Amino acid sequence: MTAETLDGKALAATIKAELKERVAALAERGIVPGLGTVLVGDDPGSHSYVRGKHRDCAEVGIASIQVELPASTSAAELEGRIRELNEDPACTGFIVQLPLPGALDDAWALELVDPGKDADGLHPANLGRLVLGEPGPLPCTPRGIVELLRRNGVGLSGAEVCVIGRGTTVGRPLGLLLTRKSENATVTLCHTGTVDVAEHTRRADIVVAAAGRPRIVTADMVKPGAVCVDVGITRTEAGLVGDIDPSVREVASWIAPVPGGVGPMTRAMLLTNVVERAEALAG
């Protein structure tokens, strides 16, 4: 078997076309959604992601507000800039690009964001809503994964899903999302404390690799016909390397690859959150 591709790039283009119409409908009511980004430091990867987000915004008709700060920025200065975006009526949603450099604390910064403008869905109040099953912005990568599977007809209800990685932006909230009544999957969350990861992945109908460790999922770890979703991105001199080894293509039925799978979907869900926030503010 050679796995079919879960094409996140193509689906993201479809979603952007849908959002463009919703943005046009808002414009008729005099509302322009605006995405703010706060980028601290000079990590080239972070700069490249943020550039991509603003390119997406331009395509869809969302205004961009870019805040760039040096790595030497103090906590007080960063707090001030976040509070400015909280107050700025042109900014309907924003993100603080993670990880923050040096001593600046990610969780501290996330908590300063107005939960009503939280385009990442990572504010503790919004993560709490996810736990409680209340409506609110959802974390972009988990939402993108669910959307990518759903729109390709991969069933989640009753599925055994093995998630590798318990990070705050992907693994942990993905587990919460997939176990809601509306998704109804059974989730095993593996992490560095898991004794035998392969024992869990082999039972799974769907494997999501979000550890950020190159090629940790190999063909022998995957049940024939399983669906595999690659979330890890490691930059090497040879290019981007995912958490899923290429050998898995011969065993899986579907693969969401790196690049072209979950990454573009994450960006499309950020735009979706911004448009939804603007629609909510418009009433």
Q: Which does 182 bind (CB under 5 to 8 A by kind): ligand GUE, Mg ion, none?
A: none
Picked from ligand GUE, Mg ion, none, the partner binding residue 233 (CB below 5 to 8 A depending on kind) is ligand GUE
Flag whether 165 is marked binding: yes
229 SS3 class: strand
| Residue 120 is a catalytic residue | yes
User: Is position 66 annotated as part of the catalytic site?
Assistant: no
Does 204 help bind Mg ion (rule: CB under 5 A)? no
In the chain, helix, strand, coil percent, each to 5? 45, 20, 40
Pick 47 or 202: Cβ nearer ligand GUE: 47
Contact 231, 141 (CB under 8 A): yes
DSSP 37: E
SS3 5: strand
Q: Which residue among 7, 16, 53, 56 is the active-site one?
A: 53
Binding to ligand GUE in span 29-48, by CB under 6 A: 48
Enclosing H/E stretch for 47: helix 44-60
C-beta of 110 vs 244, nearer to Mg ion: 110
Q: Is 258 in the site for ligand GUE (CB under 6 A)?
A: yes
Q: Which is nearer to ligand GUE, 120 or 147 (CB)?
A: 120
Distances from the Cα of 274 to the Cαs of 31, 115, 277, in angstroms? 12, 12, 5
Nearer to Mg ion, 104 or 176 (CB): 104
Q: How far is the CB of 99 from Mg ion (least distance, A)?
A: 5
Size of interface with Mg ion, in residues (CB under 5 A) = 1
When binding is defined by CB under 6 A, the residue of 260, 268, 273, 278 that contacts ligand GUE is 260
- 130, 264, 268, 276: which one binds ligand GUE (CB under 6 A): 264
Whether 97 is a known active-site residue: answer yes
Q: Is residue 53 a contact partner of residue 35, using CB atoms and an 8 Å limit?
A: yes
By CB under 5 A, residue 255 contacts Mg ion = no
Read off the amino acid at residue 154: V
Residue 88: φ, ψ to 5°: -75, 115
- The rounded distance, in Å, linking the Cα atoms of 13 and 153 is 18
Length of the chain: 283
Size of the residue set binding ligand GUE (CB under 6 A): 18
Which range binds Mg ion by CB under 5 A, 100-108, 150-158, 172-180, 272-280? 100-108
CB 249 within 8 A of CB 255: yes
Binding residues: 165-167, 233
In the complex, which residues of this chain contact Mg ion (CB under 5 A)? 100
